[in-house]
């Protein structure tokens, strides 16, 4: 797959996590989901996060996105340390600078595609850049379907609406959690091509959790987690190479 443009050496990373530890519970019942994870995510990069069930991949993106607070360690969004923000400021920062794409689309059934795309921006009270809205709607291929409600759209079209919604505030980072998990193979590949294009065309920084080696092959690199650690990294991944690495991890 094509790789995104390399950012200037002086540009801050979009996201940096340093020595992340996340422990749930106390004493003998404590479970350590992350064990000192450190990683840098450059601007305009596409990273896939993979690993066996219980490896810590979902916890990693939840902490990195400010949805969960690490027990210790730092999360820097650009130069803003999320792990030090109080809840009102953290919520505002997530709304303005972080995008989310979920497996289940999370569209409101009573709203049109256009209204679903605009909803988070409307709730935040921010102005909508009409030219940018038109650009992303065209990029996701939904210009002809903006007045349709979710029930009138296919699964792939609903996910395209969700992608446009995530891109509208021009986030520093978009997190995608199994974004093709509810789609058939052909539609999934269309969505992955679209996600790749947001990186290549818009310079978007994208971090995707997936179990699918084919999905991971659309990324610039793959991080492999096991037992709360990053145990391997792969640049310019292929589906076969990713599948082979996962097989070794799960033995």
pLDDT tens for each residue of 161-198: 999 999 999 999 999 999 999 899 999 999 999 999 99
193: containing domain = 15-249
Does residue 117 form part of some domain?
yes
Does residue 129 form part of some domain?
yes
* Residues, the chain: 251
Residues (pLDDT < 70) of the chain are 1-10, 251
CATH number at residue 229: 3.40.50.300
Does residue 67 form part of some domain?
yes
Sign of CA dihedral 37, 198, 148, 180: negative
Phi, psi of 76 (to 5 degrees): -110, 120
Phi, psi of 96 (to 5 degrees): -90, -25
Which pLDDT tens digit goes with each residue over 49-83?
A: 999 988 999 999 999 999 999 999 999 999 999 98
Extract the tokens encoding 12: 């801050």
Extract the tokens encoding 129: 């850049």
Domains: count for the chain: 1
Does residue 230 form part of some domain?
yes
Does residue 95 form part of some domain?
yes
Does residue 222 form part of some domain?
yes
Burial-class residue 176 by CB neighbours within 10 Å (0-12, 13-18, 19+): buried
């Amino acid at each position: 797959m094509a790789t995104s443009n390399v950012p200037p050496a002086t540009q801050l990373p979009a996201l940096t996590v340093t020595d992340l530890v996340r422990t749930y519970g106390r004493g003998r019942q404590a479970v350590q989901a992350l064990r000192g994870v450190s990683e840098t995510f450059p601007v305009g990069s596409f990273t896939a996060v993979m690993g066996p069930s219980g490896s810590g991949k979902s916890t990693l993106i939840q902490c990195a996105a400010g949805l969960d607070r690490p027990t210790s360690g730092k999360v820097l969004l650009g130069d803003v340390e999320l792990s030090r923000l109080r809840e009102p400021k953290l919520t505002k920062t997530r709304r303005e600078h972080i995008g989310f794409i979920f497996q289940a689309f999370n569209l409101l059934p009573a709203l049109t595609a256009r209204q679903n795309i605009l909803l988070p921006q409307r709730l935040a009270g921010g102005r909508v850049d009409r030219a940018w809205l038109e650009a992303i709607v065209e990029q996701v291929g939904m210009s002809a379907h903006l007045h349709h409600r979710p029930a009138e759209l296919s699964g792939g079209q609903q996910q395209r609406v969700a992608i446009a919604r995530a891109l509208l505030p021009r986030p520093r980072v978009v997190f995608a959690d199994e974004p093709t998990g509810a789609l058939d193979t052909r539609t999934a590949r269309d969505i992955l091509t679209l996600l790749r294009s947001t990186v290549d065309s818009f310079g978007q920084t994208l971090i995707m959790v997936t179990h699918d080696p084919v999905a991971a092959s659309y990324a610039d690199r793959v991080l492999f987690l096991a037992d709360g650690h990053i145990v391997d990294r792969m640049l310019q991944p292929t589906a076969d190479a990713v599948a082979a690495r996962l097989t070794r991890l799960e033995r």
